[in-house]
A and B are shown apart, each in its own frame.
Chain A
Amino acid sequence: MSAPLSFTQATRTVAARELTERWRDKSFWISTLVTLVILAVVLLLPTLFDDDRSYRVAYGPDTSPGLAAAAQAAADQLDVTIEEADLSGDAAARALEAGDLDAYVTSDRILVHEELDNQLGAALQTAHQQVTAAQRLRAEGLDPAVVERARNVPPLAVEAQQPVDPEADRRSQVAFIGSLLLYAQIIGYCMWVAFGIVEEKSSRVVELILSAIPTRALLAGKILGIGLLGLLQLVLIAVFGLGVGNVTGMVEVTSDLLTPVAFVLVWFVLGYAFYSAVFAAAAARVSRQEELQNVVGPMTMLLMVSFFATFYVSSNPDGLISRLLAVVPPFSALCAPVRMAGGLVPWWETGLAVGLMAAAIAALVVLGARIYDGAILRMGAKVSLKEAWLSGRRAAPEVSGRAG
C-alpha cells in the first residue's frame, strides 16, 4: 500500500507538518499578535501626540484690537489653530493654572503656566510684531500696506547638486523597523528550528522518522516549513504596518516605500537560510532543551552584533564600514536592507551582497547538514563538532541502503 517517497515529497511532507503544527500552536498567534500591537503603537503614537495642535488664548483688555486676528492669521500659516477665550485678569490666571488656557496675552507680556509652546509663541510674537509695526508706521504717516508689499520678497530658490531624496528619511525609518523585525524574526524562527530539532531528539521520535526518510529531507523540511511560516508572518506584519501607516497618514504607500519592505522580505529569506542551517547543526549536537542555550549562544551573539551594527549603518549609510557590513555575510543579513534603504546603493553592491550571502548559505547548508547528520542520532552527552563531522555522511542519503 505504499509507494517510495522521493526526496522532494519527503521534504514537503515534513514541511507541511512543521507548518500546520506551528500554525496550531498558540505561541505563534501570541507572537503575531504582540508584534502587530507593538507595530500599531509605534505607528500610532506620533499621531496621538501630534493631535494637540490647537490652543486656547485669551487677550487682555489693553491689547491692540487687531492682535487676535493677526495671531489667527499667523497660526493658520503654521498649521495650528487658536481658539480665543473671553477671559481676563484673575479669571485668566486661574484658567492658566487649571490648564484650560494656554496663554494670556497682555499689552507687554505673554502669561503662561509653565512654558510657552514654540508654535504658539511664534504665532503670537509674529502677530505682536505686525500689529505694533503697523501702528508705528501709521504714526509716521506711512501706509503699512505699501511697506508690507515692499517687504514681501519671495525667498531664493535652492538648487542642490545632489538632492537628498525627500523620501529617504521615510524609507530609512521603514528599514529600521524592518531591521528590528528581521532581527526578531530570524532569531525567533531559528530558535524554533533548534527547539524542534532538540524536541525530536529528546523525544527520540527522530529515530522513527529517519528509518523512513533521509536525514537531509527531515532537515530541509523542517527549515522550509518553519521558514515559510516566518515569511508568512513577516508579510502579514508588513501588510498590516503599511495599512495602518497609510490609514493614519504616517506613511504613504508608494513604490519608493515598497522597495525597503521588499528588501526586508528578501533578506529575511537569506538571513533565515543562513542562520537556520547553523542553528540546526548546533541543536543536533545536544539531546536536552537545557543544553540548547549553550550551543546556540555564539550564533545569537552574532545576530545581536549584526543588529547593533545596523544602528551604525543607519546613521552613516555611505561610510566604508557600512558598505562592508552591508556586503559581508552574516552581517549583511541585517545591515544590507538598512543601507539599501538609506542611501543610493549601486546595483553591483546589492548584487555582490546577495551573491556572497547565497554562496555562504550554500556552503553552510552543506556543512550544517553534515554535522546534523553526524549528530542527530547520537543521544546523551553533547556531540563534539569533530565527532559530528566525522560521522556525518558526505554522500547522498541513499548510502544507507548500500551494502558495505
Chain B
Amino acid sequence: MLELRGVTKRYGDRVAVDNLSMSVRPGQMFGFVGTNGAGKTTTMRILMGVLQQDAGVVLWEGRPAGPADRRRFGYMPEERGLYPKMRVKDQLVYLARLRGVPAAEAAASADRLLAEFGLAERARDRVDELSLGNQQRVQLAAALVHDPTFLVLDEPFSGLDPVGVDALAHSLQERVRRGVGVLFSSHQLDLVERLCDAVGIIRAGKIIASDSVEDLRSRGRPRTYRVVVGARPGWAAGLTGVRVVRDETENGDVARLDGAGALRSGDPWTTVTILELADGVDDQLVLDAARTAGPVREFRRVTPTLTELFREAVSQPSSPATVTPSEVHA
C-alpha cells in the first residue's frame, strides 16, 4: 500500500502541493485527475523521490518509503525520456540494471516486454529511429522492465492511438490483477472512468475528492432520474419528495413547425423530465405516476460522468457540492 500523508511542496511563495493525503492499495488502479498545474506531476515526482517534499511523508507498506523501495517502483515521467541514440534493448537493460536487476535477468525481462509490445524486431534499433507510438511503448517497457511493485505513470495514454490505448490498458490491468498498485494521471477522463477503481481529483495542490468512481457519483447528492413519457410537461408536479429539475417537451419545435399549434399525429407529446428524489422516496411510486400520465418510454437513474464530476469539482470554490447532471450525457 502506498500512502501520502500531509505532503506539501512549495516553490518560493507558490504552494504546488498542499497538505495532500491519499492512498493506493495493491491491485488498485488509481486515476489521478486535475487541471494543468494542479500539482499532479509534482506529487508523482515526490512519490518517486526525484523531488523532495517540504513537509509530509510518503509511506510504503506503512513505513517511510526509502530509495530501496522506490527503486522497485516503475515510473513514467510526464515528459518522456529515453536516450535518443541508445539502442532499445540496451536502454531497457540499463534502466533495469540501475534498479538493481542482475544483467541476465534484465536482458530476459527486456526481451519479454519487447515481445509483449510487438517490438522484438526493433530491439537493436536506436530509440530515435522509432515512431512516436513505438517510443511510447518503449517508455512503458522502461517502467515495467524491473517487474515493479508499484507503478507511477504520468499521462501514460497521451499520444497513443486507440489501439495503443487498448494495449496499454490491457497490460496495466494484467499487472493490477497480479496485485501491483497503479497510480496514473490522465486528462482522458472517460478512460480513467473505464479503468480505475478509484479516482483522486486534485485542484491547486489539494485533493478535493478521492474515492471510487461509484462513491464519488452518489455521495452527498440526491438520486436523479430521467423519465421520458408521452404526456404534457407538468405531470410530475406535486409528487411528494420529488423535485423537478427539468421538464420539457422534446418535440415542441416540431409541433410549432407543424403550424397552428396543432400537434402531429402519433405521439402528440414527448416530455423529458429530470427528477431528484429525496431520501426515502420510492422510485417505483414515481414510475407509477409517470405511467398514469402516459406511456413511459424511458425511466432510469442518472449518474454524473467523471467529466461532470471533475468539472463540478474544479469549478466549485469549496468542497464538493451537488451537481445537476446534464441529461445530454445521460
User: For residue A14, which residue of chain B has the nearest CB?
Assistant: B98
In the bound complex, how far is the Cα of B49 from the Cα of A401, in angstroms? 7
| Docked-complex contact B67 and A10, CB < 8 angstroms | no
A203 close to B105 (CB less than 8 A) = no
Q: Which of A207, A393, A401 contacts B70 (CB 8 A)?
A: A401
Q: Which residues of A contact B75 (CB under 8 A)?
A: 207-208, 211
In the complex, whether A231 has a CB less than 8 A from a CB of chain B is: no
A205–B83 touching, CB < 8 Å:
yes
Within the complex, the shortest CB–CB distance from B273 to chain A, in Å, comes to 52
Q: How far is the CA of A232 from the CA of B72 in the complex (A)?
A: 35
Q: With A2-B100, A203-B81, A403-B64 as given contacts, are A211 and B70 in contact (CB-CB < 8 Å)?
A: yes
Complex: how many Å from CA A4 to CA B84?
27
Does A1 interact with chain B (Cβ within 8 Å)?
Answer: yes
Choice from B94, B101, B142 contacting A2 with Cβ under 8 Å: B101
Count residues of A near B (Cβ-Cβ below 8 Å): 35
**What is the chain B residue whose CB lies nearest that of A221?**
B98
The smallest C-beta distance from B127 to any residue of chain A, in angstroms, reads: 9
A402 partner residues in chain B, CB cutoff 8 A: 64, 66
Chain A, residue nearest B128 (CB): A203
CB-nearest residue of chain B to A5: B100
A210 on the B face (CB < 8 A)? yes
Q: Choose among B67, B69, B81 the residue that contacts A205 (Cβ–Cβ < 8 A).
A: B81
Residue A377 lies at the interface, judged by CB distance under 8 Å to chain B? yes
Q: A211-B49, A211-B75, A377-B51 are in contact. Are A203 and B83 (CB under 8 A)?
A: yes
By the criterion CB–CB under 8 Å, are A400 and B98 in contact? no
B82 within 8 A of A: yes
Contacts of B99 in A (CB 8 A): 2, 5, 212
B281, CB-defined interface residue at 8 Å? no
Is residue B301 within 8 Å, beta carbon to beta carbon, of the partner chain? no
Interface residues of B in 119-152 (CB under 8 A from A): 142, 146-147
B300 within 8 A of A: no
* Least CB distance, A379 to chain B, in whole angstroms: 7
Cβ < 8 Å to B, chain A residues 377-404: 377, 379, 393, 397-404
B98 x A214 contact (CB < 8 A):
no
Q: Kindly state the separation between the CA atoms of A238 and B50 in the bound complex, as whole angstroms.
A: 43
What chain B residues lie within 8 Å of A2 (beta carbons)? Answer: 71-72, 96, 99-101, 146-147
B221 to chain A, nearest CB (A): 37
Among B55, B66, B73, B100: residue with most chain A CB under 10 A: B100
Q: Is A300 an interface residue (CB 8 A)?
A: no
* B71 partner residues in chain A, CB cutoff 8 A: 2, 4-5, 211-213
Q: Are B45 and A207 neighbours in the complex by a CB distance under 8 Å?
A: yes
B311 at the interface (CB under 8 A from A): no
| CA distance in complex: A390, B52 (Å) | 13
Chain B CB within 8 A of A206 CB = yes
Q: Which residue of B lies closest to A399 (CB)?
A: B52
Whole-angstrom CA separation of A211 from B68 in the bound complex: 10
Partner of A403, one of B57, B94, B96, B98: B57
Interface residues of A in 187-210 (CB under 8 A from B): 199-200, 203-210
Q: With the chains together, A103 CA to B32 CA distance in Å?
A: 95
How many angstroms between the C-alpha atoms of A327 and B58 in the bound complex? 50
Q: B80 to A10, Cβ gap below 8 A?
A: no
Q: Across the interface, which residues of A come within 8 angstroms of B243, CB to CB?
A: none
Please state if B83 and A211 are interface contacts (CB–CB under 8 Å): no
Say yes or no for B77: interface residue by CB 8 A criterion: yes
Residues of B within 8 A of A207 (CB): 45, 50, 75, 77, 79, 81
Residue A247, interface by CB 8 Å: no
The reply on B97 being an interface residue by CB < 8 A is yes
Whether the Cβ atoms of A1 and B98 lie closer than 8 Å is no
Of chain A, the residue at the smallest CB distance from B100 is A2
Please indicate the chain B residues that have their CB under 8 angstroms from the CB of A17 in the complex: 94
Are A379 and B79 interface neighbours, CB within 8 A? Answer: yes
In the assembled complex, the Cα of A4 lies from the Cα of B102 at a distance in Å of 11
A209-B98 in contact given A398-B67, A401-B49 (Cβ < 8 Å): yes
Question: How many angstroms from the CA of A213 to the CA of B98 in the assembled complex?
Answer: 7
**Distance in angstroms between the alpha carbons of A210 and B46 in the assembled complex:** 12
* A393 contact set on B, CB distance < 8 A: 52
- Is B323's CB within 8 Å of the partner chain A? no
Nearest 4 CB-CB pairings of A with B: A204-B81, A401-B66, A2-B100, A205-B81
* Residues in B lying within 8 Å of A, measured CB to CB: 45, 48-53, 55-58, 64-73, 75, 77, 79-86, 94-102, 105, 109, 142, 146-147
Return 22 A-B CB contacts under 8 Å, by A number: A1-B146, A2-B99, A2-B146, A3-B102, A4-B71, A10-B98, A21-B85, A203-B83, A204-B77, A204-B79, A208-B77, A208-B95, A208-B142, A211-B48, A211-B75, A212-B70, A212-B95, A377-B45, A400-B70, A401-B49, A401-B67, A404-B55
- A interface residues (Cβ-Cβ under 8 A, vs B): 1-5, 10, 13-14, 17, 21, 199-200, 203-214, 377, 379, 393, 397-404
Q: A14-B98, A205-B81 are in contact. List 4 more A-B contacts (CB 8 A).
A: A13-B94, A204-B79, A398-B67, A400-B50
